[in-house]
Structure formats: structure tokens, C-alpha cells
Amino acid sequence: MERTLKNNLHFNKLYNIFVQIKNMKSVAISDLRANLLVWIEEVKKGKSIMVTSHGKPVARLSPPEDEREAAKARLKALRKTARIGDILTPIDEEWETN
């Protein structure tokens, strides 16, 4: 059992290093409960936080995405592939109406 505990501690240390490399803070769910306002302030500053339970990720807290900027980014990406043709000139096909 002691060896398993050491392995789990080793895994937790490696996991925390991995999270730090990705520029995301990690917090145990118990610490989150005890200091929720502190962690919310971190999110307000634009940081994302990984919430863990027994060293395993269970949730991520992230600031809300700016919907307007996200829409602009999608339109900019669409601009690269979209083709706009002549939509005003009549075509020589007759349409049936019911």
C-alpha cells in the first residue's frame, strides 16, 4: 500500500507539472470549496483553472468567451473559403410555384 501511495504521489506531481506547462493552474476540489472567491478572482483575470479530485481532473473553470470576437474570428476564417457570386442577375430558369 505504501508503494501505491508513492506511485499516486508521483503521478500527482507529474500531473501538476503537466498542468503548469499548459499555463493552467490546478486546484483540488476541497481547496476550491474552501477558497471559491479567490479562485473566481483568478478566472476573472482571464486564467483557466483545472479542478481535480484525488489528483484526477474533473472540471475546468474558464472565463466566458467573448461571443462577438468569436463570431468575428469565425467570419474571418470563413472569408478564406467562401465564394460570393452574382446574386442579383436573374437566371434563365422558371420557377414553379404551388
Q: In terms of residue numbers, what domain contains 26?
A: 2-61
Cβ burial, residue 81 (10 Å; 0-12/13-18/19+):
exposed
- pTM of the model as a whole: 0.49
The tally of domains found in the chain comes to: 1
Residue 76 belongs to a domain: no
- Give residue 91's pLDDT: 76
More confident residue, 32 or 93: 32
Q: Is the pLDDT of residue 1 over 50?
A: no
CB atoms within 10 A of CB 67: 8
- Give residue 87's pLDDT: 73
Q: What is the mean pLDDT of residues 79-92?
A: 77
pLDDT in tens, 17-76: 565 546 678 899 999 999 999 999 999 998 889 999 998 999 989 888 888 888 888 888
Longest alpha-carbon distance in the chain: 82
Residue 67 belongs to a domain: no
- Give residue 19's pLDDT: 56
